[in-house]
Amino acid sequence: MVDLKCARARMVDLHLARRGITDPRVLDAFRSVPREAFVSEKLKAFAYDDVPLPLSEGQTISQPYIVAYTVQALRLQGEERVLEVGTGSGYAAAILSRLAKEVYTIERIASLAGSARDRLARLGFTNVFVSCGDGSLGWLEHAPYGAIVVSAGGPGVPPALLAQLALEGRLVIPIGPDESSQDLVTITRESEAKVREERLTGVRFVPLIGQQGWLDVSCLTGP
């Protein structure tokens, strides 16, 4: 029987703190959110392995180190309104909720959005709001956002997300020509007209499917 609390503390020390995650608020957020509550019963024993784990609908909950790296890059201070694209299980949204004022998270697959919404409510994450839709278009109603994080890889930066980024806000997104080769980039809005882009590292995320992402090939019918 795995002691999940010990496993969580060990994961934070071994896979986050010792690998360059230095922001104490980020480390505390990972210490406080039970990842086992975001995976299926049979995967709970693996919740603190530093690996992505399968969700339903062929999707994944990202590797903890990558979530921590991405979240740290947002440099959250605590008062921001954050947009996450790609809710999946809701785990990253739960982490973000410990670091910002409000989290708006959007998922294109209705069953995932529904179960993440129920799970987050059951666990008491009252400052997270889940919607089902195409997150490549953002969530205009609550814009502008002090930070935007995209948990799926697109061909480029969606203009809609850039338009919903507040002045001095940071957008972190994996972009690249295909699923096997993406760059995690940070975009900082320096003024109304000027943004600065910085490459952080190479990553591998599931595709961002939507109007300003990749085409949904499952909708195409053959001849």
| 96 near ligand SAM, judged by CB under 6 A | no
Burial class (CB in 10 A: 0-12, 13-18, 19+), 194: exposed
Q: What is the CA radius of gyration of the chain?
A: 17
Residues 61-90 that bind ligand SAM (CB under 6 A): 61-62, 85-86, 88-89
Bridge partners of 1, per DSSP, are none
Sign of CA dihedral 181, 12, 107, 198: negative
Q: Residue 139 CB, nearest distance to ligand SAM (Å)?
A: 10
We find the least distance from the C-beta atom of residue 78 to ligand SAM, in angstroms, to be: 20
Going by C-alpha positions, the residue among 164, 174, 169, 167 that lies closest to residue 137 is 164
CB atoms within 10 A of CB 2: 12
Let me know if 123 is exposed, middle or buried by CB neighbors in 10 A (0-12, 13-18, 19+).
middle
Let me know if 62 is a catalytic residue: yes
The alpha carbon of 34 is separated from its chain's Cα centroid by a whole number of angstroms, namely: 16
Of 28 and 190, which has the nearer Cβ to ligand SAM? 28
Which part of the chain contacts ligand SAM (CB under 6 A), choosing from 2-10, 40-48, 105-113, 169-177? 105-113
Distance CA 112, CA 105 (A): 12
Question: What is the per-residue binding string for ligand SAM in 163-202, x denoting contact by CB under 6 A?
Answer: ----------------------------------------
206 binds ligand SAM (CB under 6 A): yes
Alpha helix stretches (DSSP H) within 18-132 = 24-32, 64-73, 91-97, 110-122
Active-site choice (40, 56, 62, 180)? 62
Of the candidate residues 72, 151, 164, 182, the single one contacting ligand SAM (CB under 6 A): 151
Binds ligand SAM by CB under 6 A, chosen from 72, 97, 136, 164: 136
Residue 135 binding ligand SAM, by CB under 6 A:
yes
> How many angstroms separate the CA atoms of 158 and 31, rounded?
32
Contact between 145 and ligand SAM per CB under 6 A: no
Q: How many residues bind ligand SAM (CB under 6 A)?
A: 26
Binding site for ligand SAM (CB under 6 A): 59-62, 85-86, 88-89, 91-92, 106-109, 112, 134-136, 151-152, 205-206, 208-210, 213
Residues annotated catalytic, as ranges: 62
